[in-house]
Chain A
Amino acid sequence: MKNFTFTWDKGIAVLLVLSVVAGSFATPYFANFDNLSFVIQDIGEIALIAFAMTYLIIAGEIDLSVASTLNLSSATIGILFKNGAPMGIAVAGGLLTGLVCGLINGFLVTVVGLQSLAVTIGTLALYRGLCYALLGNNPVNTLPDAWTSLGYSNIPNTFLPYSTILIVVFGALFWILLHYTPIGRRVFAIGINPEAAAFSGIPVAKVKLALFATTGLMAGVAGVVYTLRFASASPDGATGYELAVIAAVLFGGVSIAGGVGTLWGVLTAVLTLGVIRSVLQLVNFDANALVIVSGGLLLISVVVPRATEMIRARRKSNTK
């Protein structure tokens, strides 16, 4: 254990273990297969989007429109199916919608040159508005059972929901790409210093455009999962998910200033968030638990690193 350094993401892993243990003691309903299956289902969409958002925030950008993108993808699936398209085509349409939404964000940021924060506040309203324009007040609830059962049932002979496959596959893919390939190195380089990255030959705008497109596509994938899970496409679904995603990414040790973060930290943070939420719900905190926990964790994840940094700086100046 000589070379062991205690980092933020290891701290989150410890917290995950602690919250699982605490949850098991706090309520007998936590540590059983039904509930664990529910926890994994519950975090599916957030995890899928968080993988892509990790890249985006490491590169120094942000996307607040992901929940609206997710739901626009869901609305597209609903409206296509309602108008007679086969479910497979409708799902493809949903994925395409996500990709297009991401490309629009990326275009506005990299080509037009606007700040991602302002742009995605705008597209948050735009994409959500389009959901209402498409669906009005009429959710589509008649999706075929063969598909929706994928959303809420488990892989045969296990307690794992089907979305686990997506989480594992995409998690591994995004992990390897971020930490073991030149693509990931470029993303970090851009986040640390975009000008230096550009001078060293990285096509900064292209990479950022690709990151926004990927984030949109992953929001589209999450939209498919969401639609199947709730067997419904409604205009007001997934409201506020963008905050949960960003909270999870930052809580996972990704710096909002860019250039710092690990994918496994984010995955651990998403799981921790899901566990804490589930435990709070089981011990009879209501749906607000999600709101308060996300807000609190988001705050902790920025305050604690900054506070320790300031204390360290003070100690250093004292010893001089």
Chain B
Amino acid sequence: MITAIQRLLKVREVPVFLALVLVTVITGIANPQFFSLSGLQDITLGVAVVATLAVAQSFVIVMRHIDLSVGSTIGFSAFLIGYEGSHGVPLWLSIVFGLLLGLAVGALNGFLVAYLKLPSLVVTLSSLYLVRGIFNEVAGGTTVTGEQVSKAISFLGQNYFLGVPYLFVIAFALMLVGGYVMRFYRWARDLYAIGSNPPASSLVGIPVARRTFTAFLITGAISGLAGVSLLARFDTAAANSGTGLELNVVAACVVGGVAIAGGIGTPYGAVIGAVLLQSITLALGALGVPQFWQQAVNGVLLIAAISLDRYLSSRVKPTQIMRVAE
């Protein structure tokens, strides 16, 4: 029994989950409305998009890489899907366009990082810029309004499956698939090896470049498809859609135990991290903290999470020196 508990406590996701329970319970006691069904629905609906992207992001972060371009990609995709839908393109085709956009961005990032061996931070920072710039050029001042959004997509954003928002159901399903793949598929295990020790993983015969490329492609593809979720969530899209989401996504991953130093973490953790951040944001509101403080609190949480992670990992093994360029 005791060993079972000890083993459970060693699972990285458990402390985050406990923090989540703590936050909800304390807030619930202070403000019982937080516990109501609508309170839970607020959290799950609010977190759906970030959770979806966090699952995608965990594929690259375990490789000790990062993809900052997801906010631009998802925004552009949401706009494309909404805009084309309102101009006679069938829904499925517009979603395919969103997916293709995501694949294109993912392929660009992946090629530059995997084959030209450029630092992912710089590459994805530039593609964040480039995609957003092209997006703005295409969108101009156009806004896709609620009436223009396809009925099927609006339905997803406004309805509930057994009390759970459809968008969260999608994120949850993606998390289960992503979690399963990363646990049991060999190529996905390779991603962990690459993140733990890039030169060694290459020496043992892992095709590092191909795996890296694939991971960026997956992240891009999910971000492209997630345009549907973003469009459904807000029922509108314009040139600023998705701006700044990348930071929330990275924060969710790090808080959820997907270490930025690579080699560790799961999609489950990433989603729990996202839910924790969202709960804290809403809890602050429920406790009467002005909304203006929320971003500051998010920043503190991110720093606290990596500090804690650093402290815990320094007790386990000497940490490797990781530099920005890697």
Contacts and interface: CB of A to CB of B under 8 A. Distances in A.
Given A115-B261, A129-B297, A302 B123 contact: yes
Nearest to A297: B126
A1 interface: no
Given A62-B324, A114-B306, A119-B306, A302 B296 contact: no
Interface in A240-263: 243, 246-247, 250, 255-258
B294 interface: yes
Interface string B121-143: 11101111110111011000000
A114 B310 contact: yes
B118 A303 contact: yes
B181 interface: no
A100 to B, nearest CB: 15
Given A116-B324, A295-B130, A306-B116, A133 B260 contact: no
A17 interface: no
B25 interface: no
A303 B116 contact: yes
A11 interface: no
A96 to B, nearest CB: 19
Most chain B CB inside 10 Å of its own CB: which residue of A116, A123, A125, A310: A125
B133 A295 contact: yes
A121 B247 contact: yes
B251 interface: yes
A89 interface: no
Interface residues on A, range: 35 or more
A127 B299 contact: yes
Nearest to B108: A299
B202 interface: no
B122 A108 contact: no
Given A112-B307, A115-B324, A302-B123, A122 B302 contact: yes
Interface stretch (A20-28, A141-149, A162-170, A286-294): A286-294
B292 interface: yes
Contacts of A117: 66, 121, 260, 324
Most chain A CB inside 10 Å of its own CB: which residue of B127, B128, B296: B296
Nearest to B322: A115
B123 A291 contact: no
Interface string B312-326: 001000010111110
A128 interface: yes
Nearest to B134: A292
B250 interface: yes
Contact of B295 (A119, A128, A258, A298): A128
A125 B260 contact: no
Contacts of A194: 321
Nearest to B138: A288
Contacts of B41: none
Interface string B264-304: 00000000000000000000000000101111111110110
A298 B125 contact: yes
A125 B298 contact: yes
Interface in A83-118: 108, 112-118
A123 B292 CA distance: 16
A108 B307 contact: yes
B117 interface: yes
Contacts of B299: 122-129
A299 B122 CA distance: 8
Nearest to B301: A122
22 contacts: A60-B323, A60-B325, A61-B324, A114-B303, A122-B251, A123-B299, A125-B295, A126-B300, A127-B299, A129-B293, A132-B293, A243-B125, A258-B323, A258-B324, A291-B136, A292-B130, A292-B133, A294-B129, A299-B112, A299-B127, A302-B126, A307-B116
Interface of A: 60-62, 108, 112-119, 121-130, 132-133, 136, 194, 243, 246-247, 250, 255-258, 288, 291-292, 294-296, 298-299, 302-303, 306-307, 310
Interface of B: 66, 112, 116-119, 121-123, 125-130, 132-134, 136-137, 247, 250-251, 254, 260-261, 290, 292-300, 302-303, 306-307, 310, 314, 319, 321-325
**Pairs of residues from A and B, 5 with the lowest C-beta to C-beta distance, nearest first:** A295-B129, A129-B296, A126-B299, A129-B295, A125-B299
Given A121-B302, A243-B129, A307-B116, 20 more contacts: A62-B324, A113-B310, A125-B247, A125-B299, A128-B296, A129-B294, A129-B297, A129-B298, A133-B290, A194-B321, A258-B324, A258-B325, A288-B136, A295-B126, A298-B125, A299-B127, A299-B130, A302-B118, A302-B119, A310-B116
